[in-house]
Amino acid sequence: MHDVLIIGSGLGGLECGALLAKRGLKALVLEGSNQPGGCMQSFRRGGLHYDTGLHYVGGLAPGQTMYKAFAELGLLDLPWQRMDEDFDHVIIGGRHFAFHQGYEAFVEGLAKDFPHQREALQSYVQRLQNITAEDMDVCAYDYLQETFSDELLLNVVSAAAMKTELRKESLPLFNFAHTCSSYIESSWRLKGDGNLLVNKLISTIEEAGGEVRTNSKVVRLTEKEGRITSVTCSDGQTYEADYYISDIHPALLCQLLEDCPSVRKAFRRRMTSGENTCGMFTAQLCIKPDALRYFAHNVFVYDKPNVWTMTEENDPVKGVMISARVPEDGSDKLRQIDLLTPMPWHECQAWSETKVGHRGDDYKAFCQQKTEECIALAEQYIPGLHDMVEQCYTSTPLTYRDYLGSPEGGAFGLRKDCRASMLSFHSVGTPLPNLLLTGQSIILPGIEGVTMTAFETCSKITHENARQ
């Protein structure tokens, strides 16, 4: 019997396992697929590793947002490389802007292009550094409109927030700010693939006597006298623990709780009625040897100032993120580039009944067309990119759904709504006192949000243990 059983081995689940291991508890992590890590995992093709979702991390310098958390998790020991001082480049309608690391430098850099908005930029970065839970009720877009009188600048400061779902009417300022702020503090890439991070967390779990088991899909939770007493996997194996943590989508968890009478309809309705965020289309490019030098910054390219509305418009692709992988051989020659663009579920819904590897030629043509559109935008920054590509691997929301168990392929979990924050933001607790929640659907998506939630989840267990 383990101290804690964790359902799902995404970043949140593994971080919970590692944190509890460091606090003297043994965790058993059950993963339904054949590979742990969720969006942090990597895959290998043609001798190169490709990341599923890890592109860069913010705030890893001493005293910054993520430093203390990553230090406790043992993740600062990984080979992080600080990105260029101008860590994010933005191209909108052919005009080029840059985000600089450090709040003061960020303001000075953009004030050169928007001198009439200097005070607004200073006000903006002050707000980023002082976000509270009350900002869950504030509409991000409304706040930006009130702060910036220049519509182009509003789009520029929002451009790198492609790391979340931008919705004019509902995105909370709380989410928008956390998506942007830590990267301004400092930005870092990992020299190596995301499995370095995954394996580090697994090692921490195992060193404390815990275990991570793949191909162990949980199909049922059993309740007795108001507490979860065991889980059952698809192979018939049953496992018991004192505490249980769910790192899967809340709607999927509710399916496992069908035989638990303490879970009332109101809780189920709240967990299952929420809308999912949009997904992402990713074209992962293998670049011909010696064709391109590595660049330690990201680039966000938009055909016009439509950052907040591009997913509402019809084809072709309206915006793309360009992220380069640190060369694995230590040279300055770039071999891998990821091109990412938001993709609502309806764009690929025609193939929703298909399985991986069996989606048909029309799906392949769809992905090829999207890739060409992404490359066409990216060529505003990398002229001739099309002819540099040696190989390409693509993923859509269908890929997220089938590999990661994300309903409708949502890239950022359940959608948060400033107009209904009490319903769309969730507590880590449940009606069952020894069942807790973690992951991107609960409070915040992204590495910062998931890590913050993992600490909150684990604090519930450690505080209860301390009382006992």
Per-residue pLDDT of the chain (468 residues; tens, 9 = 90+): 789 999 999 999 999 999 999 999 999 999 999 999 999 999 888 888 899 889 999 999 999 999 999 999 999 999 999 999 999 999 999 999 999 999 999 999 999 999 999 999 999 999 999 999 999 999 999 999 999 999 999 999 999 999 999 999 999 999 999 999 999 999 999 999 999 999 999 999 999 999 999 999 999 999 999 999 999 999 999 999 999 999 999 999 999 999 899 999 989 999 998 999 999 999 999 999 999 999 999 999 999 999 999 988 777 899 999 999 999 888 999 999 999 999 999 999 999 999 998 999 999 999 999 999 999 999 999 999 999 999 999 999 999 999 988 999 999 999 999 999 999 999 999 999 999 999 999 999 999 999 999 999 999 998 776 665
> Which pLDDT score, from 0 to 100, does residue 468 have?
59
> Which pLDDT score, from 0 to 100, does residue 466 have?
60
User: Tokens representing 60?
Assistant: 């890893």
> Which residue, chain included where needed, has tokens 């009332």?
264
User: Tokens representing 119?
Assistant: 């005070």
User: Tokens representing 309?
Assistant: 């509305």
Name the phi and psi angles at 400, rounded to 5: -60, -45
- Residue 316 preceded by cis peptide, ω within 30: yes
425, 431 Cβ separation under 8 angstroms: no
**Domains of the chain and any CATH numbers:** 2-54+193-274+418-467 (3.50.50.60), 102-184 (no CATH), 276-409 (no CATH)
388, 333 Cβ separation under 8 angstroms: no
Report which DSSP code applies to 333.
Answer: B
CB neighbours of 199 closer than 8 A, spacing ≥ 6?
none
Choose among 174, 83, 94: nearest CA to 137.
174
Report which DSSP code applies to 97.
Answer: E
Neighbours of 230 (CB within 10 A): 16
Neighbours of 390 (CB within 10 A): 12
> Which pLDDT score, from 0 to 100, does residue 463 have?
76
36, 210 Cβ separation under 8 angstroms: no
